[in-house]
Copies of this chain bind each other. A is one copy, B any other.
């Protein structure tokens, strides 16, 4: 649109809120992205840094890879060490090398520490935009520190440290405004300050924000030295990422797929393992069905209802699994065995009611259709047993996963559905064979 008219673009970028700039970036062509970003860097390097930080990782990498080396290093140096740690591995080798050269010894050590914490650590969320003051400063001195603070720091709390730079308290601008000027900060500060260790996980940080209704959470190292803060708006983004991950996990897919936009084979490789689990599991169901072929040959209509059986018991099992696992994750269901049993028992009771209705309906339809009331009753009974057991196993598994320190939501994934199919079909055909062949009803 703005072919050539860079002056106008400069003015627009200067005036626009970074959130709006981030939002339009995805709509630009590759060339436009790079050009726009370079102009933004010239106009306002701080804003360019914020925009890059807020972009999705695939766009971040696209821009960093295409910028001239020097420019890429310049913008990366505006990032916090934690944020650099998050993306450095994905940058081209040469850019990595140049960036590392520009970092100071101390920063490099910190960087290595953060990389060792891994993707799930809070490191990438840590911001260095905060104000901390020595505890013996007076209110008046702190007021002048606040007045001269860099413009882009949102001041809500002022952190207080002792002479070893350990976090010892927190206070707010309002308290400072109302206190007499000569009082030392340590006499008005709140010393009961909530903080988080730098090697904590994002999950832990999210929980603390939820529990204590904070805007900003101070981060300390092993010696309680204040090293940064986490802003709640970055937590918001972390939650969105986590949600996407959870939803993908439920289907045995992985989010990274969206990054490898054009690498079909790479995506196929990511997905194949889950499908293979299904394939080999369902080959077992094929063998089970083949074992019962004498029953099937004699009473063919039995297998008409196989897909119905698989669908209904899969459905009721995932409902139980989701209700129990989400209850456990959000804390509505306590981790105590007693509380869990109460909900599991409830799931089974609900399943009995539902199984009674569904198996009744299917039984009536089957009887009328096949004009064979014994086969109708047997199909109905087999569905009933299956549904109740499916609800039981669907509800039990999230708890077992949680006790094994795995994500309970995995219980809704493909493995469980496959295991469900295997047992469901075994029980269904077993029940049918027992009544139709052995009891000769």
Nearest chain B CB to A322 CB, angstrom units = 5
Contact present for B418 and A247 (CB under 8 Å) = no
Q: Determine the distance from Cα of A305 to Cα of B300 in the docked complex, in whole angstroms.
A: 15
Contact of A173 among B26, B155, B303 (CB under 8 A): B155
For A26, list chain B residues within 8 Å (CB).
Answer: 331-332, 334
Contact present for A322 and B251 (CB under 8 Å) = yes
Q: Determine the distance from Cα of A182 to Cα of B312 in the docked complex, in whole angstroms.
A: 73
For A275, list chain B residues within 8 Å (CB).
Answer: 312, 315-316, 354, 358
Overall SS of chain A's interface? helix
For A262, list chain B residues within 8 Å (CB).
Answer: 346
Contact present for B319 and A354 (CB under 8 Å) = no
Interface mask (A337-373 → B, CB under 8 Å = 1, otherwise 0): 0000000001001100110011001100100000000
* Residue A239 lies at the interface, judged by CB distance under 8 Å to chain B: yes
Query: Assuming A330-B244, A346-B264, is B365 touching A414 (CB within 8 A)?
Result: no
Interface mask (A141-178 → B, CB under 8 Å = 1, otherwise 0): 00100110100001110000000000000001110011
* Residue A311 lies at the interface, judged by CB distance under 8 Å to chain B: yes
How many interface residues does chain A have, given as a range?
Answer: 35 or more
Q: Which residues of A come within 8 Å of B, CB atoms?
A: 17-20, 22-23, 26-27, 54, 56, 58, 143, 146-147, 149, 154-156, 172-174, 177-178, 194, 209-215, 231-233, 235-237, 239-240, 243-244, 246-248, 250-253, 255, 257-258, 261-262, 264-265, 267-268, 271-272, 274-276, 278-279, 281-283, 285-287, 289-290, 293, 296-297, 300-301, 303-308, 310-312, 315-316, 318-319, 321-323, 326-327, 330-334, 346, 349-350, 353-354, 357-358, 361-362, 365, 409, 412, 414, 417-418, 421, 425
